[in-house]
Amino acid sequence: MDLGGTKMQVGVLGADSEVTYESRESSTGQTEDELIELLVREIEEAREARPGVAAVGLGIPATIDHDRGVAISAVNLPIDDLPIRELVGERTGLPIFVDNDANVAALAEHLHGAARGADNAVMLTIGTGIGGGLILGGEVYRGATGAGAELGHVVIAMDGLPCQGNCPGRGCVETYASGTALGREGRAAAERVPDSALGTMAAGGREIDGRAVSEAALDGDPTAIGVFDLVGTRLGVALTSFANIFEPEVFVIGGGVIAAGDLLLEPARRELSARALPPMKDTPVVAAEMGADAGMVGAAAMARAELEQGRPG
Amino acid sequence: MDLGGTKMQVGVLGADSEVTYESRESSTGQTEDELIELLVREIEEAREARPGVAAVGLGIPATIDHDRGVAISAVNLPIDDLPIRELVGERTGLPIFVDNDANVAALAEHLHGAARGADNAVMLTIGTGIGGGLILGGEVYRGATGAGAELGHVVIAMDGLPCQGNCPGRGCVETYASGTALGREGRAAAERVPDSALGTMAAGGREIDGRAVSEAALDGDPTAIGVFDLVGTRLGVALTSFANIFEPEVFVIGGGVIAAGDLLLEPARRELSARALPPMKDTPVVAAEMGADAGMVGAAAMARAELEQGRPG
């Protein structure tokens, strides 16, 4: 199950990770109790449709205590130290495994997508914020309790802008290379170059967010392309840090912003190549392959891996 | 064996990691051939003194291909793609294991020092530069080929000063929180406050390097203490990135600069606590415990771990 701030994707996966059942539901505006109800109901519906479900994996955009199966906090969901594993496990009688959405997306790319065959891979999911997932030594790395891999909160500008959401930091890459940053820089560029396509969009009343900048850039507007160049360069600064830290075999970039493809990735590659230590400077930077199914497929894979390692759900 | 740029420490360790033999040699000014000769001679002397040596671990301040046992490059040693494992192994008939000096120091702290019991620990060795060692999931993390964990080359200021040595980057924490940075900021402070103890030292002809700033700060000079506050704060910015990435159980700080103790660590803790995400902000930041023996003890432990995992030296 891939639980997002506005929608939820539910699937049953077979022995070869093939999707044998799928369902989508709204997840907006639920209280904690309603959220648990919704999860239980969706699980029971899936079991009815495809009997023999062995365990449930749940990917959530939240700080997770993976070992205890507790969702600690989330920006877009009503979650506050919610013991999901226990609550959903009691009601369904199934082993339940809970993980951060970016971790399960990284696992999906590792097993079936752009990081296939890479024992060490760094994945960034770039949307409103920047989520991180780490595959190290062939396994998901989560930190001491599962709250780690917050790769969007690597500092690239020590005296930079305050970060967003529940992050008390400043100068995090999330502030400089997320969809939010793309919108902010896009609005500034639209003002600076009013006769650009971006400027014309803004003058016509269109809200300049990340999506608007992507549209204009993909249509060839040099000003919007310049915004991607700036944001991609800053992404490349963070990739430099990750390259020097991890010496990964590949960087995988996913999330809504990757729709712009090489407009984002080329400046990031250029910066990485110019800044990283020699053994790491040519680390490939590629787009995610799993698309919208990454969360669901990764959550299932995570649950399977936990079961195989003999962990109780 | 702990091979440094100016000296080499050789030891034989017993089953309980007790040091049963020890020797120190100069390592200055050797060519590659002479270095191999020196290593072989030291190993043979140690074996003569303590028969029954099972394997040799070698910690080197260099970029290492750990799996192949090759030292790729070093700033302070005449090393250029030197296949140490092969050359020394052939001459001695012993299994040889080679690793970065910061990695083996981290292993020593993990097994016997300040990171005992921590499955996930981040170690920084702060001297002229900043070396990094990672214990993740109870093991040394080295990256795809062993060139990773270059934690001194995390970018904290994307538009900052050019880095040193073979690093093409700019704004790396090594540039802002190493002994070199301490000296640079110390010289600036001595000029700014000529009647400070630091200013008096400079006026008296003393070269203001990291050691001089440490001396003045430990003697209570507010100007020198201010330099540590600045450098410690910048160290804390890098620790924030590492905390958000790794969610480690502990940070261990070693190297010459740690002689100043809490003068360095307190501002780093303060900055970490102010900037890191809530679950990570109180991660302990402690001084290394293994001192000058860290490299030697860690190299032996590394060789033992490799042997136990059945790797051929």
The reply to whether residue A148 touches residue B276, judged by beta carbons under 8 angstroms, is no
Whether A2-105+292-308 and A116-288 share one fold: the answer is yes
Instruction: Read off the pLDDT band of A312 (50, 70, 90).
Output: confident
Distance to chain B for A25, nearest Cα, Å: 31
What number of C-beta contacts closer than 8 Å exist between A and B?
164
The reply to whether residue A248 touches residue B145, judged by beta carbons under 8 angstroms, is no
**Cα(A41)–Cα(A43) distance, integer angstroms:** 5
pTM of the model: 0.93
Task: List CB contacts (< 8 A) between A246 and chain B.
Answer: 141, 143, 148
Find how far residue B172's CA is from the centre of its chain: 16
The reply to whether residue A168 touches residue B277, judged by beta carbons under 8 angstroms, is yes
The dotted CATH code for A116-288 is: 3.30.420.40
Find how far residue B66's CA is from the centre of its chain: 17
Domains of chain A, by residue range, sit at: 2-105+292-308, 116-288
Residue A48 clears pLDDT 90, i.e. is over it: yes
Q: Which of B147, B244, B248 sits opposite A144 (nearest CB)?
A: B248
Question: Would you give the DSSP letter of residue B151?
Answer: G
Residues in chain B: 313
pLDDT tens for A138-155 read: 999 999 988 899 999 999
Residue B149 clears pLDDT 80, i.e. is over it: yes
Q: Which of A149, A158, A279 sits opposite B145 (nearest CB)?
A: A279
Task: List CB contacts (< 8 A) between A141 and chain B.
Answer: 136-137, 246
Residue among A143, A125, A148, A123 at smallest CA distance from A134: A123
Beta strands A285-287; A56-60: pairing state: unpaired
With a pLDDT cut of 90, the percent of chain A lying above it is 81
The reply to whether residue B248 touches residue A151, judged by beta carbons under 8 angstroms, is no
CATH superfamily placement of domain A2-105+292-308: ATPase, nucleotide binding domain (3.30.420.40)
pLDDT tens for B284-309 read: 999 999 988 899 999 999 999 999 98
**Cα(B53)–Cα(B79) distance, integer angstroms:** 26
The reply to whether residue B147 touches residue A279, judged by beta carbons under 8 angstroms, is yes
Fold of B114-288: Nucleotidyltransferase; domain 5 (3.30.420)
With a pLDDT cut of 70, the percent of chain A lying above it is 100
Question: Would you give the DSSP letter of residue B137?
Answer: T
Residue A75 clears pLDDT 80, i.e. is over it: no
Phi, psi of A307, deg, nearest 5: -60, -45
Residue B119 clears pLDDT 90, i.e. is over it: yes
Pick the residue of A247, A250, A270, A281 with the most B CBs within 10 A to test the interface with B by mutation.
Answer: A247
Q: Which of A73, A240, A249 sits opposite B155 (nearest CB)?
A: A240
Question: Would you give the DSSP letter of residue B189?
Answer: H
Contact B48, B96 (CB under 8 A): no
pLDDT tens for A222-279 read: 999 999 999 999 999 999 999 999 999 999 999 989 889 999 999 999 999 999 998 8
Scanning every residue of chain A, which has its alpha carbon at the shortest distance from the alpha carbon of B236? Answer: A158
3-state secondary structure chain A: CEECCCEEEEEEECCCCCEEEEEEEECCCCCHHHHHHHHHHHHHHHHHHCCCCCCEEEEECCEEECCCCEEEECCCCCCEEECHHHHHHHHHCCCEEEEEHHHHHHHHHHHHCCCCCCCCEEEEEECCCEEEEEEECCEECCCCCCCCCCHHHCECECCCCECCCCCCCECEHHHHHCHHHHHHHHHHHHHHCCCCHHHHHHHCCCCCCHHHHHHHHHCCCHHHHHHHHHHHHHHHHHHHHHHHHHCCCEEEEECHHHHHCHHHHHHHHHHHHHHCCHHHCCCCEEECCCHHHHHHHHHHHHHHHHHHCCCCC
The reply to whether residue B245 touches residue A245, judged by beta carbons under 8 angstroms, is yes
The reply to whether residue A277 touches residue B141, judged by beta carbons under 8 angstroms, is no
Distance to chain A for B112, nearest Cα, Å: 20
Which residue in this structure is represented by tokens 């900052």?
B160
Scanning every residue of chain A, which has its alpha carbon at the shortest distance from the alpha carbon of B138? Answer: A144
The reply to whether residue B158 touches residue A156, judged by beta carbons under 8 angstroms, is yes
Q: Which of B132, B241, B279 sits opposite A154 (nearest CB)?
A: B241
Q: Which of B166, B245, B279 sits opposite A63 (nearest CB)?
A: B279
Residue B187 clears pLDDT 90, i.e. is over it: yes
Angle at B20 between CA B70 and CA B299, to 5 degrees: 20
Residue A13 clears pLDDT 80, i.e. is over it: yes
Task: List CB contacts (< 8 A) between A151 and chain B.
Answer: 244-245
The per-residue pLDDT for B76 is 74
Q: Which of B63, B136, B276 sits opposite A279 (nearest CB)?
A: B63
Which residue in this structure is represented by tokens 């034989």?
B12
**Cα(B126)–Cα(B164) distance, integer angstroms:** 14
Q: What is the mean pLDDT of chain B?
A: 94
Fold of B2-101+292-308: Nucleotidyltransferase; domain 5 (3.30.420)
The reply to whether residue A247 touches residue B72, judged by beta carbons under 8 angstroms, is no
Pick the residue of A277, A280, A282, A283 with the most B CBs within 10 A to test the interface with B by mutation.
Answer: A277
Residue A124 clears pLDDT 90, i.e. is over it: yes
Read off the pLDDT of each residue in B189-208 and give the average, rounded to a whole number: 97
Task: List CB contacts (< 8 A) between A154 and chain B.
Answer: 154, 241, 244-245
The reply to whether residue A143 touches residue B248, judged by beta carbons under 8 angstroms, is yes
Q: What is the ipTM of this complex?
A: 0.93
The reply to whether residue A277 touches residue B150, judged by beta carbons under 8 angstroms, is yes
Q: Which of B134, B151, B277 sits opposite A167 (nearest CB)?
A: B277
Scanning every residue of chain A, which has its alpha carbon at the shortest distance from the alpha carbon of B271? Answer: A169
The reply to whether residue B277 touches residue A147, judged by beta carbons under 8 angstroms, is yes
